[in-house]
Amino acid sequence: MPKIIFKCRYLKNSSVHLENLVEYVATRDGVEKISPVSRDSPATQKQEMLITDILTQFPDAADVFEYEDYLKHSTAENASQFIGSVLEQNLDQLSHQEIYVNYIATRSRAEKLGTHGLFSDEEAPLVLSKVMEKVARHTGNVWTPIISLRREDAARLGYDNAAAWTALLRKQRNMFAEQMKITPENLRWFAAFHNEGHHPHCHMLIYSVNPREGYVTKFAIDKMRSCLAKEIFQQDLIQIYSEQTVQRNKLAGKSREALREIIGRMSGSLCESETIEALFANLAERLKHTSGKKQYGYLKAPLKAIVDQIVDELAKDGQVSEAYAKWHELRYEVLRTYTDKTPDPLPLSQQKEFKSIKNMVISEAMSIGSHYFTLEGDEEAEQLPDDGQEMNTENSAELLKKASVLDNSFAQYRLGKRYLLGDGVPKDAETAVKWLTASAEQGSQHAQYALGKLFLIGEDVPRDREATVRWFTLSAEQGNVYARYFLDHMNSFSNPFLFLAATRLLHHLSRIFRDEQQRLSCGTGMQTDSKLRRKIREKKIAQGHAQDDHELKHTNY
């Protein structure tokens, strides 16, 4: 059960004839008199029948504090409290406007400010008859918000008197105007505080002097509840934020460590999925016959759907699924400060932080279609080895040639790769094999893997199974997972390009997760939310709100 009950309906011009309920309201003098002896006795049969009738006519009555009390302890007193509360909160449905105004103003438990309990923006005392006349003549909607608290919260936070409610509602008037789509200068409101039983509450009437203006949505009701809760429970929230920060930091530390470990496993893993391979084959074939720019944003809906399906299939991989769950723990740190409820995770294909994976899918599909040669797992081979060999870090072919002649294995691999891919030099498979072999003979697992793959595919050089096995074996013995996979599946895979595309996507995702982990760890994610909150606050101040009158996103009390 939330800490605050907030309901917001509007008055209807025709009364509802619910015989039992109207009779009860008409004969009820303040709170139904119950003798101290029978107060803790079980609810009477008449009360139970009336409660059944109430829940049938007003289903949302089950949401009030008094019903929670009645369910816990079905005593005559709690039954009476529930019945009285619901009928009072639904009097706007049982009577005309002027009757409702008079009732909330003169109710026996209303805190009187003179002869009645009405208050509003005006400092001067209100004349009840004039307010009743204004409301009765109004031809537009008149909304009737009711705000209810638990007795212990109202007493502890100082909201057990009309003065506190007057200050609160005056401060929040522009918030009501914004959420009800009423021009602030047109908004009129009146309220009365009822220091009732176990759950003090405040009745309001709100309307616009322009009868055509104003409407309220469910989203707006949630916003109004959130703003009121934030203001009323601000002292509690300060303590909650402090405690949550400590717990959040502990959780975040554990999540970062777990995510780091998962990323490490993911970056060295293989992705074997017949479904992804089939989808890739379909996408590659269709892209061959697609004109225009080959980027996700430019593709037609059917091709986008295939790309999304590939990404979501990849998300089913155990390590990706685990990493995505840990990423969400870090991502929702800020939201957990405000609420225990967080949005359900989106499919990976719909998560904007991972949108770059979509164009990676398209790139891989195009490589498959053109049989573009790739070398997997050589990211570390692109870094200068710390083995005492002097090597200029510039990537010019001439410098690589000079170092290669001096039997620098690192430079030989780099130069062979350049000739193989046509990177900065004319593509030349024969020269590429020369330098890759020189590097492989010195023990480079990456050069060994490149040669094994070249002789396996047999496009740039003649296919040679013996050479394939030799080089893959040497590379696998040094821990190359790709070489080991090919050795284990020499006779089973149909298209190595399809398998490697899925695996490269897995590794690309591991890099995205690593970047996201660093972003969240250094607080940039939280900084973004902070900037957003500041913009919202500045906008509201410009609209006439008090400087500290800004709500917390997704708050639900």
Name the residue ranges covered by the structural domains of the chain: 4-232, 246-373+506-521, 380-479
The alpha helices in 293-444, defined as continuous H runs, are 301-314, 318-331, 333-338, 356-370, 397-405, 409-421, 429-441
- Kindly give the parts of the chain with pLDDT less than 70: 1-2, 11-39, 87-114, 197, 235-256, 258-260, 262-271, 330-342, 369-374, 376-396, 492-497, 499, 520-557
Angle at 73 between CA 68 and CA 76, to 5 degrees: 105
Query: CA 505 to CA 361: how far, in whole Å?
Result: 7
Which CATH number does 4-232 carry?
Answer: 3.30.930
pLDDT for the residue 538: 56
Place of tokens 């155990």: 318
pLDDT for the residue 36: 54
pLDDT for the residue 371: 56
Which of these, 289, 453, 282, 450, lies nearest to 361 by C-alpha position?
282
pLDDT for the residue 509: 79
pLDDT for the residue 380: 55
How far is C-alpha 313 from the chain's CA centre? 22
pLDDT for the residue 165: 92
Which tokens in the block code for residue 549? 């009158």
Amino acid at 79: A
Are 101 and 127 within 8 A, CB to CB? no
pLDDT for the residue 239: 58
CATH superfamily of 380-479: Tetratricopeptide repeat domain (1.25.40.10)
pLDDT for the residue 14: 33
Query: CA 230 to CA 130: how far, in whole Å?
Result: 34
Do domains 4-232 and 380-479 share one topology? The answer is: no
Place of tokens 């699924």: 321
For the question of whether the overall pTM of this predicted structure is more than 0.75, the answer is no
pLDDT for the residue 175: 94
